[in-house]
Amino acid sequence: MACAAHAFCATLGGSNDKPEPWSSSQTVQPADLAREISADAKSAKPTIVYVGFRPLYEGAHIPGASYHGAAGKPEGLADLKAFAQSLPRDTNLVIYCGCCPLEKCPNIRAAFTALNEMRFTHLPVLILPNDFNTDWITKGYPVEKAQ
Protein backbone atom coordinates (compact mmCIF):
# COMPACT_ATOMS: atom_id res chain seq x y z
CA MET A 1 0.00 0.00 0.00
CA ALA A 2 1.52 3.30 -1.08
CA CYS A 3 1.02 6.48 0.86
CA ALA A 4 1.49 10.17 0.15
CA ALA A 5 4.66 10.22 2.21
CA HIS A 6 6.29 7.71 -0.15
CA ALA A 7 6.39 10.37 -2.85
CA PHE A 8 8.34 12.59 -0.46
CA CYS A 9 10.65 9.77 0.56
CA ALA A 10 11.32 8.93 -3.08
CA THR A 11 12.67 12.45 -3.59
CA LEU A 12 15.33 11.79 -0.96
CA GLY A 13 16.98 9.32 -3.31
CA GLY A 14 19.46 6.58 -2.46
CA SER A 15 19.93 5.07 0.93
CA ASN A 16 21.31 6.32 4.18
CA ASP A 17 25.06 5.76 3.85
CA LYS A 18 25.85 6.92 7.38
CA PRO A 19 25.76 4.50 10.29
CA GLU A 20 22.56 4.69 12.28
CA PRO A 21 22.75 6.97 15.34
CA TRP A 22 21.34 4.14 17.49
CA SER A 23 22.92 0.82 18.42
CA SER A 24 21.19 -2.54 18.02
CA SER A 25 20.46 -2.51 21.77
CA GLN A 26 18.51 0.74 21.22
CA THR A 27 15.98 -0.90 18.92
CA VAL A 28 12.77 -2.88 19.32
CA GLN A 29 11.20 -5.22 16.78
CA PRO A 30 7.49 -4.94 15.93
CA ALA A 31 6.57 -8.36 17.40
CA ASP A 32 8.31 -7.51 20.67
CA LEU A 33 6.60 -4.12 21.02
CA ALA A 34 3.20 -5.58 20.10
CA ARG A 35 3.67 -8.22 22.80
CA GLU A 36 4.77 -5.59 25.33
CA ILE A 37 1.78 -3.29 24.77
CA SER A 38 -0.63 -6.24 24.81
CA ALA A 39 0.73 -7.71 28.06
CA ASP A 40 -1.11 -7.60 31.37
CA ALA A 41 -1.25 -4.19 33.03
CA LYS A 42 1.13 -5.46 35.74
CA SER A 43 4.13 -4.25 33.79
CA ALA A 44 4.72 -0.61 32.93
CA LYS A 45 3.85 0.24 29.33
CA PRO A 46 6.30 2.22 27.25
CA THR A 47 5.60 5.78 26.22
CA ILE A 48 5.23 5.58 22.45
CA VAL A 49 5.68 8.59 20.20
CA TYR A 50 4.97 8.75 16.49
CA VAL A 51 7.45 11.16 14.89
CA GLY A 52 6.17 11.15 11.28
CA PHE A 53 3.50 12.88 9.26
CA ARG A 54 0.10 13.71 10.80
CA PRO A 55 -2.07 12.19 8.01
CA LEU A 56 -0.40 8.82 8.54
CA TYR A 57 -0.87 9.05 12.33
CA GLU A 58 -4.55 9.88 11.86
CA GLY A 59 -4.99 6.95 9.47
CA ALA A 60 -3.62 4.38 11.93
CA HIS A 61 -1.09 4.31 14.72
CA ILE A 62 0.06 2.12 17.59
CA PRO A 63 -2.48 2.21 20.45
CA GLY A 64 -1.50 4.82 23.01
CA ALA A 65 1.04 6.49 20.72
CA SER A 66 1.08 10.25 20.84
CA TYR A 67 1.85 12.63 18.00
CA HIS A 68 4.24 15.54 18.46
CA GLY A 69 5.05 16.69 14.95
CA ALA A 70 7.13 15.35 12.08
CA ALA A 71 10.66 15.36 13.51
CA GLY A 72 12.20 15.96 10.10
CA LYS A 73 10.80 19.50 10.14
CA PRO A 74 12.02 22.21 12.55
CA GLU A 75 8.56 22.87 14.02
CA GLY A 76 7.93 19.15 14.53
CA LEU A 77 11.28 18.64 16.21
CA ALA A 78 10.61 21.62 18.48
CA ASP A 79 7.21 20.16 19.44
CA LEU A 80 8.81 16.77 20.20
CA LYS A 81 11.46 18.37 22.40
CA ALA A 82 8.87 20.46 24.26
CA PHE A 83 6.81 17.31 24.94
CA ALA A 84 9.86 15.36 26.11
CA GLN A 85 11.23 18.12 28.33
CA SER A 86 8.95 17.24 31.25
CA LEU A 87 9.48 13.46 31.06
CA PRO A 88 11.85 11.67 33.44
CA ARG A 89 15.03 10.79 31.57
CA ASP A 90 14.60 7.10 32.44
CA THR A 91 11.19 6.91 30.70
CA ASN A 92 10.95 3.95 28.32
CA LEU A 93 10.36 6.19 25.30
CA VAL A 94 9.75 4.24 22.08
CA ILE A 95 9.84 6.29 18.88
CA TYR A 96 8.68 5.28 15.43
CA CYS A 97 7.77 6.68 12.05
CA GLY A 98 7.16 4.14 9.28
CA CYS A 99 6.32 6.70 6.60
CA CYS A 100 8.60 4.94 4.14
CA PRO A 101 11.56 2.56 4.16
CA LEU A 102 13.63 3.13 7.29
CA GLU A 103 16.77 3.85 5.30
CA LYS A 104 15.07 6.87 3.68
CA CYS A 105 12.99 8.11 6.61
CA PRO A 106 13.29 11.90 7.05
CA ASN A 107 12.04 11.82 10.66
CA ILE A 108 13.35 8.99 12.81
CA ARG A 109 17.05 9.94 12.91
CA ALA A 110 16.31 13.56 13.83
CA ALA A 111 13.95 12.42 16.59
CA PHE A 112 16.40 9.88 17.99
CA THR A 113 19.32 12.30 17.90
CA ALA A 114 17.37 15.08 19.66
CA LEU A 115 16.02 12.80 22.39
CA ASN A 116 19.37 11.10 22.84
CA GLU A 117 20.98 14.54 23.27
CA MET A 118 18.35 15.22 25.95
CA ARG A 119 19.89 12.22 27.73
CA PHE A 120 17.01 9.75 27.64
CA THR A 121 18.44 6.45 28.84
CA HIS A 122 15.74 4.08 27.49
CA LEU A 123 15.15 5.26 23.92
CA PRO A 124 14.33 2.35 21.63
CA VAL A 125 13.59 2.91 17.94
CA LEU A 126 10.86 0.68 16.50
CA ILE A 127 12.43 -0.99 13.48
CA LEU A 128 10.06 -0.78 10.51
CA PRO A 129 12.29 -1.64 7.53
CA ASN A 130 9.60 -1.11 4.86
CA ASP A 131 6.85 1.08 6.36
CA PHE A 132 4.21 1.01 9.10
CA ASN A 133 1.62 -0.65 6.89
CA THR A 134 3.87 -3.51 5.77
CA ASP A 135 5.73 -4.10 9.03
CA TRP A 136 2.92 -3.49 11.54
CA ILE A 137 -0.62 -3.32 10.14
CA THR A 138 -0.43 -6.29 7.74
CA LYS A 139 1.12 -8.38 10.51
CA GLY A 140 -2.09 -7.94 12.51
CA TYR A 141 -0.55 -5.91 15.33
CA PRO A 142 -2.95 -3.56 17.16
CA VAL A 143 -3.78 -0.16 15.71
CA GLU A 144 -6.06 2.72 16.51
CA LYS A 145 -7.16 5.76 14.55
CA ALA A 146 -7.04 9.38 15.66
CA GLN A 147 -10.25 10.63 17.24
pLDDT digits over 102-118, tens only? 999 999 999 999 999 99
- Please report, for the chain, the start and end positions of each structural domain, with discontinuous segments joined by +: 21-139
Categorize the per-residue pLDDT at 10 as very low, low, confident or very high, splitting at 50, 70 and 90: very low
pLDDT digits over 39-75, tens only? 776 678 899 999 999 999 999 999 999 999 999 999 9
The rounded distance, in Å, linking the Cα atoms of 60 and 54 is: 10
pLDDT exceeding 90 applies to what percent of the chain? 75
C-alpha distances in angstroms, 110 versus 31, 38, 77, 105? 24, 28, 8, 10
Categorize the per-residue pLDDT at 33 as very low, low, confident or very high, splitting at 50, 70 and 90: very high
Give 93's strand partners. Answer: 47
* Residue type, position 68, single letter: H
The domain made up of 21-139 has a fold known as Oxidized Rhodanese; domain 1 (3.40.250)
Confidence at residue 7, expressed as pLDDT on a 0 to 100 scale: 45
Confidence at residue 39, expressed as pLDDT on a 0 to 100 scale: 79
Q: With 90 as the cut, is the pLDDT of residue 97 above it? A: yes
pTM, 2 dp: 0.86
